[in-house]
Each structure stands twice: as C-alpha cells, then as structure tokens.
Structure 1
Amino acid sequence: MKRNFFKIAVMTVLICVWTIASVQAFEIITREMVEKQIVTETDLIRNVDNFIILFDTSSSANKMVAGKNVSMIQATKNLLKERNAWFPDLGYQAGLYEYTNNETLTGTFKAIYPMQAYDRDRFAAAIDQLPEKGQGPTMLQAGLHGLRKVVAGLSGKTAVIMFTDGTASVVRGPKKPLQIAQEIAKDHDVCFYLVSSASEEANLRMLETVSKVNACSRVVPLNAFLDNPEYIAGALFMVKTTVYERLVPVTEVVGFVADDILFDFNSADLRPEYNEKKNMLVDFLQQNPDTYVVVAGFADSVGDEEYNLGLSERRAESVKSALTNAGIDGDRVVTLWFGELNPAADNATEEGRQLNRRVELAVGK
C-alpha cells in the first residue's frame, strides 16, 4: 500500500515535469516534513576550583605494582600523562609537586608545576620532568607541610591528590601527618584523595585515619586508581546529562528526475552518449536499495498512432534492460509508455520531434 502511494506521488511529479520544456539533470525530489528528535546534551560541571597533585619520589615508590610489571613511580607517572591527555580544561588552578627525597633530613617539597592556571601542554611538560626512579626515605610530613603553604594562597575548593604508601620516617620537629592534615582541613576547603600503595596494616590504618579529617576525603587503592579514570574525573568534575525532545524540520530526498533520454527516428536503441547517465542512475539505485525508478517512453507524431505506442514501449523496455543488465532488480524498474501523448515540444519541427522521441526517468521510494 505504501509503495503504491509513492508510485502515485512520483507519477504526479512526472506529470508536472512533463509539462516543462527543459528539465535539469538529476533534479532532486524532496519531501518536507517535521519530526521529533531526542536530544542529549552533556555538560561538565567543575566540582573544585583547584587541584594539587603530590607525587611520591621516595625509594619505596620503586616497588612493583601488584599484578603489573611496572614500578609504582613509573605507573603513577604514566597514569598522569594518560589522564592529562584527555582532561577537560574547566578553568582550574593546578599544581604538581614532588616530595620525599633524600636531599635533607626532613625531606623536600619541590614545585614541578607551581600553582597557576591549568594548561594541558605545559602540565604535560611538567609531568615529563618527574623522575622515573625514587630515592630516599618517605617524608610524608614534608609533603603535607609544603601543601599547607600552597593552599594558604588559594581561594575556593581544592582537591589534593596525594600518592603515598602511608609510611612516614620519624624525625624531630615536624608534626605527625594526621595533625598537619587536620589543621589544613580546618583552615581550608580541601578534599584529600590519598592514592594508597600501602601494604602494611599500620600504614593502612594511618591513611584511613587521615582520610577522616572531613567528609569529602578518602583513600583510593593504587590499583583501583590506575584502572579507573573515574577517580580523577569524580574528584574534579561531574557529568550532567540532559535529555529532551524537540521538533526539527527535515528535508527527505525521495528521488530525482533526470534529463530525458532521446532516441533516433523509429529506433529504440539506447545511444552510447547516455551510458554515463545510466551508470549514475545505477549507482544511485544501488546505494539506495529502498528506491525504484519509473521509466516512461514517448514517440513523435510521425506515422501510425498504434505503431508509435508500441515504439514508446520498446524505448522504455530498452532503458529497463540497460538497468537490469547493470544489476538492478527488474521489480525496481516500472515501465510506462504513452506513444504520442503529452509532447515535450512542437511536432511540426525536426527539433521538436527529436525532443518527443524520449524516455523520461523519475526515482521514488
């Protein structure tokens, strides 16, 4: 029933076209309509204003990651490079610092990317400067003590991503890690993300205790952090998805009308000059398997009317044969013939009669 409807529609187009003296080659037939469209919009919403990464460069970071053929320090450096490549720039202030090497008894806190506006390329260059091998004792106090100085100059909320195995060398002077973390959390809007490679029970308990300084802080096992980018994403931004429906105008291509195929006097043979047009039509039909072509044959007024009706049929069948021989299913080629009816030009002149010895094409679906 649907196919018959489109046949009628295409025939209506053909009748309109046949009243025109000149038709543009491959004139597209379209149908205007309005359809519903489901739109999904995704927005990234910043959770924090600043983020700081504290990179552990102590010798304990040279241990191998459980189940992976890579050291902890190499794995975390590779992770930072990978995540930085896709990290969205939402207007953060960012900093990258390394801590805990053996330059001094109390450890050091070194700025690799001092706190400033986040820039992906410059941050990547800073990550490249991080060492591939750790050295010296773990000075967790040095990392937290240096952090306190950095956050003192910040406004807004800050996420601190700290890679640590939970060990802290005992030295005189600096406060214990828990005390420093508590003071920082009390004075500033800070969330600690302690990326833990701790294996000993005491170190695990210590990191868990530090993570309790406020509700937003937490401990994330290193293996989980390496395998799930959501841990960084969730710390720094959230994804808001909005789905709604809208009406949009649509222009659907339902076919085209080609220039007429002209024939010699009293002939139904397809001229070689039309091979290119035939090939274009074949390509269109092959690329649009739900379409079909209407082939309508005509004749001039010279000779017997009944004979010319048969001649126009043979001309239509000639074009159909050319299409089916090129691989188009015969059921997709509708042949019609009208003899001398509806001339395209004046039969009183040779030029006019030539235009009337024709096959007209239209494609629909």
Structure 2
Amino acid sequence: MKVFSMKIIPLLLGTLFLFGCYARQQVHSIPDFTATQFDSNEYASAVDNFLIIMDASSSMDDDYMGNKKFIIALEIINRLNLTLPELLQNGGLRSFGHDKAVSEKNTVLFYGMEPYSTKALKEKLNLIKTSGGTSPMHSALTEAGQDLNGVSGKTAMVIISDGQEAYGMGHSITLAAAQALKNQLGPGLCYYPVIIGDNNKGTDLMEKISGMGECGFATNADTLLTGDGMARFVKDVFLTQKTIRPMAPKDSDNDGVTDNMDKCPGTPHGTMVNADGCPPVTQKPAPAITETLNAQGAWVIDEAYFDFDKAVVKPSAFEFLDNIAEFLKNNPEVFININGHTDNIGTKAYNDVLSLRRAEAVKTYLTNKGIEKNRLACQGFAFSKPVASNKTDKGRALNRRVEIYPVK
C-alpha cells in the first residue's frame, strides 16, 4: 500500500496541475474597446426603431469564459451604445428576470420608446445593477408588443440572453410569443439575438427566433466585445450608407469650361474661349522688342502683372517673354537684369522675398527657352519702387510687376 501510495500521489498531483492549467486557459478577460465613430454625413439609419431585450435572470449570474454572463450582457449594450450614432431613430431597453433590488416585476421597460440618445440609454442601463429571478423571455416579448404598438417602418429587436428559460419550461411558449410579435409588426420586424454562453438548447432557441424574423441573424456575444466586431454588427443591423452624388465640376471663371479641363483659369467672363478654356490663338507679327522699352530703358511685362501674393508667370506674358528670349538669342552680347516688385501689403521682409521670387520665376521661364543662366541677374525691390498708388486695387495691381533691363 505504501508503494502504491507513493506512485499514485505524483500522478494525482500531475493530473490536478494539468487540470488547473487547462481551467486557467479557459478564462478570457473582456477585451479593451475603442468605439468606431460613424460619420452621419456618410451613413443614415437603416431602422426606424430598435428595442434591446436584456436577460437579467439568475442564469446570467453563471460564469462564461471566466466572466459572469450578466456582466458580458451589460458590456455589450454599453459598447453598442458607444458605437451607434444618433440618427433620429427611436430606441428602447427592456429587461427580464431581475433581482428584487432592481425590480419586483419580471420584465421592465427601463428606456424608451423615444428618440434614441446615447446619454439617456446609458443612464437607464446603469439602473440594472444585478441579475436574479426567473427567465421569462416570453413575458418580455409579449410586453414588447405594447412597447412597439403603433410604430411604423423597420424595427430591429436585439435580444441578449443565454437562451435558458425558467424551470425547464421548454421553448414553445417563447417561440409562440416571438411569432405573435412578428405577426403584429409584419415584415418590418427583424430579430437579432446575441447568444451569451454555450448552452446548446439556449443557442437553438436563439437561432430559431432569428430565423423567424426572416431578415435577422443570430450572433455570438464573443464577437461583439471587440471594436471591429461591434462596428460590423452596428453597420449590418442599424446603418445604411448614403448614396454620395458626385459634385458637378466647377466653372470658377464662368467661361463654359469646367475647372478640371480649363487650362486658362481666370479667363474673364464673356471672353470667347476654345475647348481648353483659353482664348483662340491669333497669329500676329512679333513686336519689335527694342521698341517696347519704357522711359527707364526697361521691358515691363504688359498685361501680365502678378496676382496678389503670387510669383507665378501668367499665360498672357508668355508671348512677350518669348520675344525677349528670341531677342537674346539673336544678340548674345546682351545681358539682362530682372527686377521684381510688389505692392505695399505685408511686411518689408516678406515682400523682399516675394519680389525676388517673381524675378526668379521670369528667369526660369527664359532659361527654359534656352537662355544661359549667367546672362540673367535677379533682384527684388519689394514695395520700394511703386509706379502707381498703393491706395487703390488698380494701383497695387500695377505695382505687382517685373521689369527687365537689357545690359551690354
């Protein structure tokens, strides 16, 4: 006996150790949760009404995967509430079972039916603090008929339960109550049971209820505890994506050519334009470039002054600059100074940089036409050399310019 005992004790201890490890492996903590935020500009409510029926009976006090089923049910409703956007749908929360500290009644409508509010549903859910009592799901379904009496449109009923009815009563009375409610509301009612636990009979009951609705489905509670799982459930049950109509292309300058096709934006309204938004090109002889020097001996890019706070050469300057480039090619001994200017809006330091950028933009254009960089010198004078009054829009526009001085 002593030898037998010495051999059997390690075996028993090993078995208990393995069993303890196995049991610990089955305990699953409730995962962390981050609610998905659905944009009300992108989604609309797919339902007009929803009613959550929560099992708060004594069977929900049992453990499932290391957590009380009642706690899992509360957490699912809380996470659903955090994910579901307020979209003018009516909502409600009814529970059944109950510890006497919660209610003497076996089923109570704690919230609704009223326009859904995240805050209001949370406050009412907090009143259901503990589980207890029998499991009269059939009573909750029957009373739900009164909750939903007179509603119209589509209704989603979310039943959160382990599906275990009281005292082995069987499921026939519960299925009959669910069918009666379906008959009352017709095709607009869809059942979405959420199964907590792994009781086979309870799962069978919940799946039969979902099939009765002909438009719903049953879900295991485990899948709704994650942010992604709850987001899929909310999207599938409660939401529909809005049809986003493409915006008509803009025509900012009203020239009959939309902005996405307009190669000459800013063409004045009323100007005749081609399909690309640019005025028709008219062939005209190149001007005698040497005859266009102003009194100071400079070329000024006529009708191509820069926009406010911009250093972009306008298309209307291209032809004039092309003529200057051609002149420089024919006269390789000529160098040029390119002087940029601004109006007086803004600080001197800022306009110093802006005026130089305008000069460099003209230099870049000419170098792209084949003129050597060493023949082109740039300077910026900010607003130190105005040619017109800066007190008017027209005067400031004339001051936003580039002057080109030929030097031999």
Q: Calculate the TM-score normalised by the size of structure 2.
A: 0.50
> How far apart, in 2, do the equivalents of 1:163 and 1:89 lie?
21
SS at match of 1:98: strand
> How far apart, in 1, do the equivalents of 2:156 and 2:380 lie?
79
Counterpart contact for 1:197–1:222, Cα < 8 Å? yes
Aligned to 1:95: 92
Structure 1 position 180, deviation (Å): 1.1
Q: 1:258 aligns with which of 333, 342, 352?
A: 342
Aligned to 1:191: 190
Aligned to 2:74: 77
Aligned to 1:109: 107
Counterpart contact for 1:76–1:226, Cα < 8 Å? no
Alignment of 1:28-67 (within 5 A): 43-63=42-62, 66=65
Provide, for residues 219-240 of structure 1, a one-character-per-residue CA deviation record: whole Å limited to 9, x for no partner.
Answer: 1111122332221232222112
Alignment of 1:318-357 (within 5 A): 335=378, 344=387
Q: Calculate the TM-score normalised by the size of structure 1.
A: 0.55
> How far apart, in 2, do the equivalents of 1:54 and 1:136 lie?
16
> How far apart, in 2, do the equivalents of 1:173 and 1:64 lie?
22
Residue 161 in structure 1 maps to residue 158 in structure 2: yes
> How far apart, in 2, do the equivalents of 1:136 and 1:343 lie?
91
Alignment of 1:207-286 (within 5 A): 207-227=206-226, 228=229, 229-248=231-250, 249=252, 255=310, 258-259=342-343, 277-278=348-349
SS at match of 1:166: coil
Counterpart contact for 2:76–2:221, Cα < 8 Å? no
Of 158-167 and 226-235, deviating more is: 226-235
> How far apart, in 2, do the equivalents of 1:94 and 1:337 lie?
68
Structure 1 position 200, deviation (Å): 1.9
Residues 107/213 of structure 1: CA separation in 2 closer, same or farther (3 Å cut): farther
SS at match of 2:246: strand
What code does the residue aligned with 2:378 have?
A: T
Aligned-pair identity in percent equals 19
5+ long unaligned stretches in structure 1: 1-40, 261-273, 286-290, 297-329, 346-358
The one of the two structures with greater contact order (alpha-carbon pairs below 8 A, sep at least 6) is 1
Residues 110/255 of structure 1: CA separation in 2 closer, same or farther (3 Å cut): same
RMSD: 4.3
Residue 201 in structure 1 maps to residue 285 in structure 2: no
Counterpart contact for 2:73–2:161, Cα < 8 Å? no
> How far apart, in 2, do the equivalents of 1:58 and 1:254 lie?
72
Structure 1 position 81, deviation (Å): 3.3
Of 113-122 and 215-224, deviating more is: 113-122
Residues 65/231 of structure 1: CA separation in 2 closer, same or farther (3 Å cut): farther
> How far apart, in 1, do the equivalents of 2:193 and 2:126 lie?
22
What code does the residue aligned with 1:255 have?
A: K
What code does the residue aligned with 1:225 have?
A: L
Report the number of matched residues: 248
Structure 1 position 44, deviation (Å): 3.0
Residues 176/334 of structure 1: CA separation in 2 closer, same or farther (3 Å cut): farther
Structure 1 position 204, deviation (Å): 1.5
Structure 1 position 176, deviation (Å): 1.7
> How far apart, in 2, do the equivalents of 1:280 and 1:344 lie?
16
Structure 1 position 344, deviation (Å): 4.3
- Structure with bigger strand share is 1
